Amino acid sequence: MDVEVLDLPAPAVAVPGATGSVSVALVGSGGAGSMRAGEILLEAAAEAGLFGLMTRAMGPQIRGGEAAALLRIATTPVSSPDDHLDLLVALDWSNFVSFAAEIPLGPDSLVLADPAEGDAPGAVRASGARLLALPLKQLLRTVPGGHGNMIGLGAAATLIGLDAAVILRVLRHQLGRKGEAVLAANAASLSLGAEAMAAEPPLCRLATSDGAARWTISGNQATGLGALQAGVRFVAAYPITPATEVLEWLAPALAETGGVLVQAEDELAAINMTIGASFAGTPSLTATSGPGLALMVEALGLAVASEMPLVVVDVMRGGPSTGIPTKSEQTDLNIAVYGLHGDAPHLVLAPNSIADCLFTTHWAVTLAEQLQTPALVLSDQALGQSRAVIAPPAPLPQAAARLTAAPQEGGYLRYALTESGVSPMAIPGTPGGAYVADGLEHSERGTPSAQAAAHHAQLDKRAHKLALHDFAPHWADIEGEGEIGLLTWGSVTGAAREAAARARARGIRVRLISLRLLLPAQPSHMAAALAGLRGVLVVEQSHGRQFHKYLRSHYDLPPAVSVLSRPGPLPIRPAEILDQLLAWE
């Protein structure tokens, strides 16, 4: 077996112009409004019928810290940030160094900055990027009530060939309520930025298609929406970065759809509340990140043993411990798959794009309800806190309902041994259905039992119901044919997808396999997916290569396996994956 483990240094900078897209970053201190400008630019892309992705790099400050909005805008759906930036607009250079490593500049990048802010930081100068003056302070003096971020936005839009009228439309929509004066000052700032770049040749001109329907959504919002559309009507919440927006989005959405969100005193309460609500018959969910998931693990075991449907969304961040709360990593795979004590079959799923947060969370709720067991959804900061412009998602399938028990005349067996392993669940209020849901091992009726036969029978039941379910075709996304496989999961799939596309454009045939279902493992489906592959490149964002070890323990891999893994927070770029594929050819 040929296992080659590659530790990669910081991302390499690739050839620009490899794809039909443009990448822009807006950076500045907290008050400078770089995020706001980025959001408007993304919204304008949606208005223009383009596609886009906006990730963010943040300093550790709660408020007033530095921030970078990193956008990629394209004529086709965007799956990943690009390898390099085409344009960086610096509203100021305050604390730029704290996230400089996440701002990929190269000799082909253009950097706009105000000379009044002083010299560009060393990292910027060392990149060889071309520097161009945008005298923000000076220009601001000419518009009363003007905004530096809008000047920067006007300049950026002009350079990437985005029509100012579209941006004005977005501004009018968002600021309309604030009155004409506010709108006028913003519009004037935009024009100043545009005029300042009038003499510069545009970096690109993206073919817009005005009127094409688009959605702008973050991964955390898509997760919330997937849950809502699957019928979740109870959520217990304890805030934690980067999962809080899932909960904050769901709070009013649940209130409007007859559901309830309650803020719990801690994660122990949050998951136990969802167990209570699910016992009472309501599809239930909680969302957290690594530290919260660690607190919830005991209760996940209770949900397995008592066969209680529920969903826990874990928006992963850098770990262990408090780790890096604001940055992404794929390192809760081990705790999600192996964290429960006892033999505790459960579901672990992972969305592999922002749009897929909607589908996968919806599927997780459906599976949990159908199979009466907890489902963990491993999203991450890179998906959750990024926003994308996507085509309106396909309608979601009808969510499967829980198998419930009709009124009983007596002799109801909550944990009856059925062929499918799923037994009808009596919901409180159902006459004759009273039983005790129990984390103690139990008989079919639900009464505690420490007998070997009862334990074995119930272990079999809980394992069988997952083993017998057909998870095809959604267990994985399998794209393309060839002798080389790219085996990945979660947010890293975006970069892998783009790398595969670039490889194909060069005539290298690649099969991408991105696992959406991590537990229960699907050995026969995987064997079919791997058939004919000479080797696979495993791609993951983890120092301990958790995914590679997971694959080794559940699947037979082809003879040649290579691993591209790196911990967060630096994203894995398409070019790095492509380089590995090229090295294999």
Rounded Cα distance between 486 and 483, Å, is 10
Structure tokens at 430: 């159902």
Residue 378, classified by CB atoms within 10 Å of its CB into exposed (0-12), middle (13-18) or buried (19+), is buried
Question: Residue 13: which residues within 8 A CB-CB, separation 6 or more?
Answer: 83, 84, 104, 105, 106, 127, 575
Question: Any contact of residue 51 with another protein (CB under 8 A)?
Answer: no
Question: Any contact of residue 215 with another protein (CB under 8 A)?
Answer: yes
Question: Any contact of residue 87 with another protein (CB under 8 A)?
Answer: no
Per-residue DSSP letters for 361-385? HHHHHHHHHHHTSEEEEEEEHHHHT
Question: Any contact of residue 433 with another protein (CB under 8 A)?
Answer: yes
User: Quick one: which of 585, 584, 582 has its CA closest to 15?
Assistant: 582
User: Quick one: which of 526, 539, 448 has its CA closest to 496?
Assistant: 539
Question: Any contact of residue 165 with another protein (CB under 8 A)?
Answer: no
Q: Tell the smallest beta-carbon distance from residue 163 to another protein (Å).
A: 15
Question: Any contact of residue 311 with another protein (CB under 8 A)?
Answer: no
Q: Tell the smallest beta-carbon distance from residue 442 to another protein (Å).
A: 9
Q: Tell the smallest beta-carbon distance from residue 423 to another protein (Å).
A: 16
Give the number of other CB atoms < 10 A from CB of residue 190.
26
With CB under 8 A as the contact rule, the residue among 298, 479, 483, 579 that binds another protein is 298
Question: Any contact of residue 439 with another protein (CB under 8 A)?
Answer: yes
Which one of 86-94, 208-216, 372-380, 566-574 is the stretch in contact with another protein (CB under 8 A)?
208-216
With CB under 8 A as the contact rule, the residue among 38, 219, 242, 281 that binds another protein is 281
Q: Tell the smallest beta-carbon distance from residue 373 to another protein (Å).
A: 16
Ranges of beta strands (E only) in 283-426 are 284-288, 310-316, 347-349, 374-380, 387-390
User: For residues 442 and 548, which CB has a smaller minimum distance to another protein in the complex?
Assistant: 442
Question: Any contact of residue 276 with another protein (CB under 8 A)?
Answer: yes
Length of the chain: 585
Question: Any contact of residue 214 with another protein (CB under 8 A)?
Answer: yes
Rounded Cα distance between 34 and 37, Å, is 5
With CB under 8 A as the contact rule, the residue among 118, 428, 532, 559 that binds another protein is 428
Q: What is the dihedral of CA 506, 510, 515, 521, to 10 degrees?
A: -170
Q: Tell the smallest beta-carbon distance from residue 286 to another protein (Å).
A: 10
Rounded Cα distance between 66 and 57, Å, is 9
Question: Any contact of residue 253 with another protein (CB under 8 A)?
Answer: yes
Question: Any contact of residue 174 with another protein (CB under 8 A)?
Answer: no
Which one of 19-27, 227-235, 319-327, 566-574 is the stretch in contact with another protein (CB under 8 A)?
227-235
Structure tokens at 24: 């822009």
User: What is the SS3 assignment for 46?
Assistant: helix
User: What is the SS3 assignment for 296?
Assistant: helix
Q: Tell the smallest beta-carbon distance from residue 22 to another protein (Å).
A: 20
With CB under 8 A as the contact rule, the residue among 216, 239, 400, 545 that binds another protein is 216
Q: Give the Å distances, CA to CA, from 9 to 116, 300, 551, 570, 573.
A: 34, 38, 24, 10, 12
Restricted to residues 340-399, the positions that interact with another protein (CB under 8 A) are 392
With CB under 8 A as the contact rule, the residue among 260, 297, 403, 582 that binds another protein is 260
Structure tokens at 457: 């029978």
φ, ψ (nearest 5 deg) of residue 443: -80, 180
Restricted to residues 448-487, the positions that interact with another protein (CB under 8 A) are 448
Structure tokens at 415: 């944990």
With CB under 8 A as the contact rule, the residue among 47, 117, 356, 477 that binds another protein is 47
With CB under 8 A as the contact rule, the residue among 265, 409, 419, 470 that binds another protein is 265
Structure tokens at 496: 């892998």
Residues in contact with another protein, counted by CB under 8 A, come to a total of 63
Question: Any contact of residue 209 with another protein (CB under 8 A)?
Answer: no
Question: Any contact of residue 262 with another protein (CB under 8 A)?
Answer: yes
With CB under 8 A as the contact rule, the residue among 277, 367, 425, 512 that binds another protein is 277
Rounded Cα distance between 254 and 265, Å, is 20
With CB under 8 A as the contact rule, the residue among 71, 110, 426, 519 that binds another protein is 426
Binding site residues, another protein, CB under 8 A: 46-47, 173, 213-217, 221, 225, 228-229, 233-234, 236, 253, 255-262, 264-266, 268-270, 272-282, 284, 298-299, 302, 306, 392, 426, 428-440, 447-448
